[in-house]
A and B are shown apart, each in its own frame.
Chain A
Amino acid sequence: MKKAITAIIAVVIIALMAMGYADTAAHRAHSGAETEVDPQEIIFEHLGDAYGWEVPFNHSKRIPLPIIVRAQDGSWHAFMSSNLEGGAQYNGFQIAKGGDYNNKVVQILPDGSQYRPLDLSITKNVAGIFIAALLVLIMVFKVRNWYKKNGMKAPRRFTAALELVVDFVYTDTIRPIMGKEAPKYGPYLLTVFFFILTMNLLGLIVIFPGGANLTGNLAVTAVLAVITFLVTNLTGTKHYWKEMFWPDVPTALKCPVPLMQVIELFGIFTKPIALMIRLFANMMGGHMVVIVFMLLIFIFGSMFGTAVGGAMTPLSVALSLFMLLLDVLVSFIQAYVFTILSTMFISMAHVHEHAE
C-alpha cells in the first residue's frame, strides 16, 4: 500500500515536471528567444495582491474577481477583472504597468494621465480573507454543534483537534492572564487567533483556495493591530490612564519635563505597531524565502547554464520544503504570539489600584 502511494506520487511529480518542461519548451519555441527570469518581479507578484486568482500550470489564465471602483466624478463602477486582462481598457479603467500605481487599477483621464480611484475591489487577498473567515466560521461552528448535539461527550477527529487548540488558547493562555475578565475578552482573542491561524495556513497552500499572502500584507495585520489598540485603550481603566499621565515615579521625572508621560504615550502606539510588524514580517519573510529557494534554480541556471540549474533542483526543492514546514510552525507560533500579546496589552490596561 505504502509503496503504491509512493509510486503514484512519483509518477505525478514526473508528469508535472514533464508538463512544465513541455510548457517552457513551447513557450520558448513560440517567443523564439530565451526570456530572462526576473526574480524580483516573481517574488513581488507572489507576495502582492492581484485582481484575479492564478490557476495552476497557467501563466495567463486568472479566476476573475469583481472590481469595485469609484471614478473621479464620484460614480461607482463594478465589473469583472477578466475585462482588464492583458492590459485591456474597460470603461476607462486599466491595470497600470510601472509607475506609481504598478499593478493597480487606474482610471485613464481624458488628458491621458492616470487617476487612482477609490478601490474597494474584491481582489485576490480580499477573496482570501473571505474564504478564511468562512473556514473559521465552519470550524468553530463544528465544535459548537458538537457540544449542542453531544453534550458532555468528548469529540473525535478534527473536532477534537480544534477543541484542543481552543482549550490551549483559552484555558492555558487567556484565562491565566485575564483572570475573571476572560469570558468577556475571550471571544475576541479566540477569533483573532483562529482568523490569523487560518489565514497563515491558507497562505502556505499554493493553489486556489490558498496562495494569497494574507498575513504577509501590511493592511491585514494593521487592521488587526488597530482593533487590538482600540480594545486596549477604549476599555482601559482610570488607573491605566493615571499611570500614564501621573505615574508613581519621583516628581523630577514627570513634572517640569514630562519625560515619563512621553515614554508612556509612545508605548501606547509602539505596542500595536510591534504587533503589526511582527506578524507581517514573519509571514512575508517565510513566503519570500520559500520563493527565493525555488528561484535559485533559475538564478543558477541563468548564471552557470541550464545543467547547473537542473542540478540545483533537488537542493532547492528540499530547502523550500523545509522552509514550508517551518512556516507551518511559524504560522501557529505567530498566531499564538499575536493573541497572547493582545491578551497582555488588554489585561495591562485593566490595572486597578495597587493593593496596599
Chain B
Amino acid sequence: MELFKPEFGLAFWMFIAFLCLFGILAKWAWPFIIKSMEERADLIDKGVAYAQEAKSHLDNAKAEADKLIAEARNEQADILREAAKMRNELIEKAHSEAADEAKKVTEAAQVSLEQARKEAEKQLRTQVGDLALQIAEKVIRRNIANDDAQRALVDQYLSEVEAKN
C-alpha cells in the first residue's frame, strides 16, 4: 500500500516548509498579533468598566442633586421662618419701645403740667394776694363812707376775681 509508506522527499520538504513558516511567523507575526489582541481586549475591558463607573456616577449624581435640592429647600424654609420670627420680634420691640417712649412723653407732659399748674397756682396766689391788697386798699380808701357799701364792694371785687379766673 503506497499510501502508508511515507515518502522521504515529501517529509523533507514538509519539514523545510514548516520550519520556514514557523520561523517567519514566530518572529514577525504571532507575538505582535497576540500582543495587539490582548491589548485590545484590555482596552475593551477597561472601556466597559469605565462606562459602568460613569453610569453609577451619573446615577449617584442625580441622587446627590436631589439631596442638595432638598437640603436647599429645608434651609430656605428655615431662613424664611427665622426671618418671620425676627420680623415679629422687631415689630414687638418697636411696639414696646414706642409704648415706653409714649409713656415717658406722657409722664414728662404730666410733670410739666404739674409744674405749670403749680406755677399757675403760685401766680394765682400772688395775683389773688395783689388783688386782695388792691381791694383792701380800695376798701380802706372808702371805709369812711358805708359799711354796707364796703361789703358790697368786696363782694363785687371777689366776683370780679372769680370771673377773671
Contact = CB atoms under 8 A, between A and B. Distances in A.
B37 A141 contact: no
A119 interface: yes
B21 A186 contact: no
B3 A284 contact: yes
A119 B37 contact: no
A218 B4 contact: yes
B129 interface: no
Nearest to B15: A223
A220 B36 CA distance: 32
B22 A219 contact: no
A48 B5 CA distance: 11
Interface stretch (B6-14, B79-87, B103-111): B6-14
B26 A191 contact: yes
Given A119-B9, A219-B11, A141 B18 contact: no
Interface stretch (B27-35, B93-101, B133-141, B145-153): B27-35
B34 A152 contact: no
A224 interface: yes
A302 to B, nearest CB: 24
Interface string A107-121: 000000000001111
B2 A48 contact: yes
A44 to B, nearest CB: 7
A335 interface: no
Interface stretch (A2-10, A130-138, A255-263): A130-138
User: Which of B10, B24, B29, B43 has its CB near the most chain A CB atoms (within 10 A)?
Assistant: B10
Contacts of B41: 171
Interface string A204-242: 000000000000011110111001000000000000000
Contact of B25 (A122, A187, A220): A187
A218 B37 CA distance: 35
Contact of B20 (A133, A148, A222): A133
B39 interface: yes
Given A147-B32, A183-B34, A187-B31, A122 B13 contact: yes
A270 B114 CA distance: 140
B113 interface: no
Interface in A110-169: 118-123, 125-126, 129-130, 133, 136-137, 140-141, 143-144, 147-148, 151-152, 154, 163, 166-167
Nearest to B27: A187
A191 to B, nearest CB: 5
A190 interface: yes
B13 A191 contact: no
A137 B3 contact: no
User: Which of B20, B24, B33 has its CB near the most chain A CB atoms (within 10 A)?
Assistant: B33
A164 to B, nearest CB: 11
B30 to A, nearest CB: 4
A47 interface: yes
Given A102-B2, A170-B34, A118 B18 contact: no
Main secondary structure of the interface of A (DSSP, over half): helix
B2 A186 contact: no
Contact of A123 (B2, B10, B17, B28): B10
Contact of A126 (B6, B13, B18): B13
B37 A163 contact: yes
Nearest to A170: B34
Contacts of B117: none
Contact of B17 (A102, A120, A133): A133
A335 to B, nearest CB: 14
Contact of B22 (A49, A122, A187): A187
Contacts of B11: 219-220, 222-223
A126 B10 contact: yes
Contacts of A133: 17-18, 20-21
B33 A147 contact: yes
A173 interface: no
B40 interface: yes
A195 B9 contact: no
A151 B33 CA distance: 11
A245 interface: no
Contacts of A144: 28-29, 32-33
Given A144-B32, A171-B37, A186-B34, A191 B25 contact: yes
Counting from the closest, the 3 A-B pairs by CB-CB distance are A219-B6, A187-B30, A187-B26
Interface of B: 2-15, 17-18, 20-22, 24-26, 28-34, 36-37, 39-41, 43
